Structure 1
Amino acid sequence: MTDHRQVAVVRWPGRTPPVEDGLAALLAAYHLRTEAEKGASVADVHGLPDRYRAEITDPLTAFAGDVVLVALLSDTVVGCLVVTSPNSGQAEIKRLWTDPESRGRGVASALLGTALTQVAEEGVHTVRLSVWEWRTGAIALYERLGFTATRSWDERKQLVCMQRSL
């Protein structure tokens, strides 16, 4: 297991090594895996719904106003996370994904820790997220970081909504 202090978390876009291709690849993997897990497997990104394909092809526009964090091990993009712009003291974490070959190295913890620190500095008092119920490892991580299940704000079945006060 790699010490998570070896994971560099950078804000995108920014003064970082070029990460666009790596970010697009992570977002593609996230959406393709999610669709497969939901039983709606598609062959490639062209089969994804338009809104997901837009995140992959033009993340700068898709996440305009949001904060995109990218995790690097050396100069390799290995994880990403999106934090929505604060609204009424609340922000939402979306698209947390770690490359499967880099799991167990503290990547997701580093991304979440950075995200929570940044939103707290912006005056956010509640952070929420949603996760598919079959992603038990992610749920366990969120619970370790103080997130608790809450009443759903999303009508999709099998989606667990969680939040944490800061």
Structure 2
Amino acid sequence: MTDQREVAIVRWPDQSSSAEDGLAGLLTAYHLRTEAEKGEAVADVHGLPEHYQAEILAPRTVFVDDAVLLALSGDTVVGCLVVTAPTGGRSEIKRLWTDPAFRGRGIASGLLGAALAHTAESGVSGLRLSVWKWRTGAIALYERLGFVITESWDERDQLICMERAV
């Protein structure tokens, strides 16, 4: 489990450029890795689809209505997760990512716990997410936290959709 003195989970802490730069770095790593895993590797941010580039270059604009949760080790952003604004009583988890150098410390679990607490406080009744089928470790984590595989709302091949009540 994560030593909470070492890593803190916060909601988009301030307007600091270091937090925004850290989030941009994690989102870049997330999207580049995902594209490579799908067999569509690109060299840098400019090779990503425009909507992913926008997340990286202007996260405060793209996620303006969403809750952005960050895991901080000191002033360094080491993990992130986005909880979308509620629609129809449900929110969605997106962009869960931990810096590989910080994996195995419970950061993803901490971010998910914070997301569950946030959605409960927001009056959301359900939380959903999608995950690529080859990310078996993530799927196991989601299942441990009560998410179950459900009928897909996304037509992309190899994408698993999961949900749980809050």
TM-score, normalised via structure 2 length: 0.95
Q: Name the aligned partner's letter for residue 19 of structure 2.
A: V
Match of 1:103 in 2: 103
Partners of 1:159 and 1:9 lie apart in 2 by 28
Measure the CA separation in 1 of the matches of 2:4 and 2:100: 16
Q: Secondary structure at the match of 2:86?
A: coil
Over the matched positions of the two proteins, sequence identity in percent amounts to 69
Deviates most, 154-163 or 7-16: 7-16
Task: Find the residue that maps to 1:29 and give its secondary structure.
Answer: helix
Shift of 1:89: 1.2
1:23 Cα deviation after fit? 0.4
The gaps in structure 1 that reach 5 residues or longer are none
| Rounded Cα–Cα distance in structure 1 between residues aligned with 2:74 and 2:48 | 31
Partners of 2:79 and 2:96 within 8 A in 1 = yes
Residue by residue over 1:26-66, the C-alpha shift from the partner in whole angstroms, topping out at 9 and shown as x without a partner, is 00000000000000000011100000001000001111101
- 1:6-155 aligned at under 5 Å gives the runs 6-12=6-12, 14=14, 18-155=18-155
| Cα distance per residue 1:112-166 (max 9 Å; x no partner) | 0001001101111100000000000000000010000000000000000000111
Query: Are residues 116 and 16 of structure 1, via their aligned partners in 2, closer, same or farther at CA, if it must alter by over 3 Å?
Result: farther
Moved segments of 4+, more than 4 Å: none
Point out where structure 2 has 5 or more consecutive residues left out of the alignment. Answer: none
Distance verdict in 2 for CA 1:5–1:118, change over 3 Å: farther
Matches of 1:6 and 1:161 in 2, distance apart?
Answer: 32
Aligned partners of 1:135 and 1:125: how far apart in 2?
26
**Offset of 1:18 from its aligned partner?**
3.5
How well do the aligned residues superpose, as a CA RMSD in angstroms? 1.6
Query: One-letter code of the match for 2:134?
Result: W
Tell me the SS of whatever aligns to 2:34.
helix
TM-score (norm 1): 0.95
